[in-house]
Amino acid sequence: MHKSASGSTLGPGGLDLTQAFFKPITNAAPPSPTKRHNKISVIGAGNVGMAIAQTILTQDLTDELVLVDTNADKLRGEMLDLQHAAAFLPRTKIHASSDSSVTAGSDLCIVTAGARQIPGESRLNLLQRNLSLFRAIIPPLVRYSPDTTLLIVSNPVDVLTYVAWKLSGFPSNRVIGSGTNLDSSRFRFLIADHLDVNAQDVQAYIVGEHGDSSVALWSSISIGGVPVLSFLENQQIAYEKETLENIHKSVIDSAYEVIRLKGYTSWAIGYSVANLARSILRDQRKIHPVSVLAKGFYGIDGEVFLSLPAQLGRGGILGVTNVHLNQEETQRLVDSAKTILEVQTQLGI
């Protein structure tokens, strides 16, 4: 499939009209070589990939957006649909192709492609199919964009981020999984809803696996700078641990509920990943709970990717935040790491 993008060849025989339409000013200097041109590639044009692409466009996060998918007709349709909205969006060049060469020079490659589970299929077999898929996806991205940062969204995200790291040969700071960034947003929403405050005033993290063994860091939750559990204890206000566990369970179950109701999740993960892209490309140095190489943190042994609060910037992962975990949280995090490692060892990579 040929890539397509807007251009200035509207004249007869493909004549470039730019020179005729605009008259250069006298003694003009060439554009500054320091001007930054951002390029983002989204691999996978399914519901999640397109929600991410659409959010990136509306938030004006890139100068050039590339879509890659094996379904050529759907891909071209998605590209045209976005291009036709040009009058309502910030100026962005949009390309689409089934050939990975179109991603060349990308600052950020977002991978959403993944095999869907067949009814009755084991998790391990699904992982093996995704491993084969990643063997076809990751090496070309690395070849065409050797300085890019890889942001993995495909599930199971922690294991596939590890796979992408191994296949890419990149330093670990340039391979990131979307991890529990969305889980933490759901967590903050539920806490804010319980206490009738704005979710942006809630500081709360879900760490560990993006899945059933995730860990809610209740000990470090604060609202408006006030540590919640410490405040309740100091004020001798009783609370039930079961209530806290139910909130965490709601976080875990929320994606399943959305899938049951509409068939898939898309908008929330779109906003979540665009939020990560902003922090990376604009060097925001914000803290996000994302899937990172966790070896050596909190007693975790072994090469495993799971979510920890990390600072993101132009260099990818700039560092992991030294968040205090109580003994129970630490043990649950170590157990979460073991759960992921058990799956990884079966992949043979």
Binding residues for NAD(+): 44-49, 69, 130, 153-155
State how far the Cα of 152 lies from the Cα of 342, in Å rounded to an integer.
Answer: 20
Counting beta carbons within 10 angstroms of the beta carbon of residue 115, is it exposed (0 to 12), middle (13 to 18) or buried (19 or more)?
middle
**Is 324 marked active-site?**
no
Report how far apart, in Å, the C-alpha atoms of 69 and of each of 44, 144, 245 are: 5, 16, 40
The residue written with tokens 């649950």 in the block is 332
Query: Quick one: DSSP state of residue 208?
Result: B
Q: What is the C-alpha separation between 288 and 269, in angstroms, rounded?
A: 14
Residue among 210, 223, 232, 69 nearest 136 (CA)? 69
> Which tokens sit at 328?
């129970």
71: left (phi over 0), alpha (psi -120 to 50) or beta: beta
Coil, strand or helix: which one is 226?
A: strand
Q: Which of 210, 248, 288, 324 is catalytic?
A: 210
- In order, the DSSP letters of 272-329 are HHHHHHHHHHTT--EEEEEEEE-TTSTT--SS-EEEEEEEEETTEEEEE------HHH
Q: Please name the amino acid found at residue 131.
A: L
Which among 136, 104, 103, 130 is positioned nearest to 116, based on CA atoms?
130
CA torsion, ordered 197, 218, 259, 132, to nearest 10 deg:
140
Q: Are strands 226-227 and 305-313 parallel, antiparallel or unpaired?
A: unpaired
Residue 28 has φ and ψ, to the nearest 5°, of -75, 140
In terms of Cβ atoms closer than 10 Å to its own Cβ (0-12, 13-18, 19+), residue 7 is exposed
- Which residues are catalytic, by number? 210
